[in-house]
Amino acid sequence: MERLTRRRFLGGAGAAAATAALGPPARRASAQAKPLKIGLVLPYSNVYAVLGESITEGMRLVFERESWTVAGRKVELLREDDEVSPQVGLRKTKKLIESDAVDFLVGPVSSGVLAAIRDTVHQARQILIVANAGNDEISRERCSKYIFRASFSNWQPNWPMGAWVAAHVGKEAHLIAPKYSAGFDMMKAFKETFVPAGGRVVGEDYTPFPVNEDFAPFLTKINQAAPRVVYAFFSGSQAVRFVRQYDEFGLRARSKLCGAGFLTETDVLPAEGKSALGIITGHFYSTLLDNPTNRQFVREFRETFKKTPDGFAVQGYDTAQTIVHALKATGGDTQNKDRLIEAVRRVEFDSPRGRFRFDPKTQNVIQPFIYIREVREVGGELANVVIDQVANVKDPGTGCTLPG
């Protein structure tokens, strides 16, 4: 585990901070004495390492803006690498809950890790704010009153894309994604609107996960089928490999590549280069969004970290903002779980993506918009340019009873 201190933050290596909140008068002395512990279960190695770092940086930006002080309690970020492994993620989660006694748990990136830790989190009555993993089940049959999602459900960026692709790109599509729950969820969501809109799925492949170096067998199959559209989900280093190999196979000119926004997010776009030009994706964010909060976010992020933020950094930013707003609402009290849960549920603020709020039925974020984006050159750099949008996208989960 890595404890992040203010000194290391200012040196650019980590983050730990002091924040806090005065609780009710009877608890004020003890609340002041105890730091607010936030446990991060994120990948800092393996295929999604960059995603974990981006989420962490987004959180750091919020706490630094708050001068690492929120209503009086000191904040400590306790960083654990889940290695994109369900077994490792579960072990690290138990450590943070049982040994470190964290007030909030944040993460993970992988849907597989989230599925593995769900029951432990629920049984421990541990508040978890999901900063990436999108398993649809967490907003539906496996929801928990202790789990909030500040990122997305896998359904959200893909469901609007099905009908849009059928109407604007083509009605014959080959689907391809990694062979794990996120890949299955995302392709299912796309088909939910693509097929009713007159689309036909001519092929569907799921690639090895977490590592697959060579997409040639799958691309050969796609090349032979010559579909009008290829719809894909890949993220991190897998997205870079897929996009570059797709172009090398000469497929960019004959089969329009579309997909979930992670395929061309800012974290991978520079490495993909011109191979990404023309790719159309659906996502809740673009660095080009013209709203005051995003303009400030992009400026501060670039100044602090010397790079352009991506959607994962926004997820970290919104996760930290959720914690800050909830702590201010409770006066820093994290002992009364029901009161804290209600405070988190009521959180609402302006995010770089738009107005942030949770759906009380699922405790999943309501996406202000899913933006349809196309990779173009803007000012000599590649960017995801918004060409259309779908407003107020809620996960359709309705049967969640939020058991105690």
Please give the CATH topology (third level) of the domain spanning 2-152+290-365.
Rossmann fold (3.40.50)
Residue ranges of the chain that CATH labels 3.40.50.2300: 2-152+290-365, 155-283+369-393
| Spatial separation of the C-alpha atoms in residues 341 and 57, rounded to whole Å | 25
pLDDT at 213: 87
User: Taking the CA atoms of the chain, what radius of gyration do you get in angstroms?
Assistant: 21
pLDDT at 401: 58
pTM reported for the whole predicted model:
0.90
pLDDT in tens, the chain (404 residues): 555 544 344 334 333 333 333 233 334 434 444 899 999 999 999 889 999 999 999 999 999 999 998 889 999 999 999 999 999 999 999 999 999 999 999 999 999 999 999 999 999 999 999 999 999 999 999 999 999 999 999 999 999 999 999 999 999 999 999 999 999 999 999 999 999 999 999 999 999 998 888 999 999 999 999 999 999 999 999 999 999 999 999 999 999 999 999 999 999 999 999 999 999 999 999 999 999 999 999 999 999 999 999 999 999 999 999 999 999 999 999 999 999 999 999 999 999 999 999 999 999 999 999 999 999 999 999 999 999 999 999 999 976 655 55
Please give the CATH topology (third level) of the domain spanning 155-283+369-393.
Rossmann fold (3.40.50)
Here the contacts of 395-399 (C-beta below 8 Å, separation 24 or greater) are: 395/136, 395/139, 395/140, 395/153, 395/155, 395/156, 395/359, 395/362, 395/364, 396/155, 397/136, 397/139, 397/140, 397/143, 397/153, 397/361, 397/362, 397/364, 398/361, 399/140, 399/141
First to last CA, the chain: 30
Label the pairing between strands 367-378 and 280-283: antiparallel
- Identify the CA nearest to 163 among candidates 191, 201, 142: 191
> What tokens does 5 get?
């201190």
pLDDT at 386: 98
| Spatial separation of the C-alpha atoms in residues 112 and 369, rounded to whole Å | 26
pLDDT at 2: 52
pLDDT at 9: 41
> What tokens does 367 get?
């996406």
Q: How many CB atoms lie within 10 A of CB 360?
A: 11
| Spatial separation of the C-alpha atoms in residues 205 and 396, rounded to whole Å | 26
Distance of CA 25 to the CA centre of its chain: 37
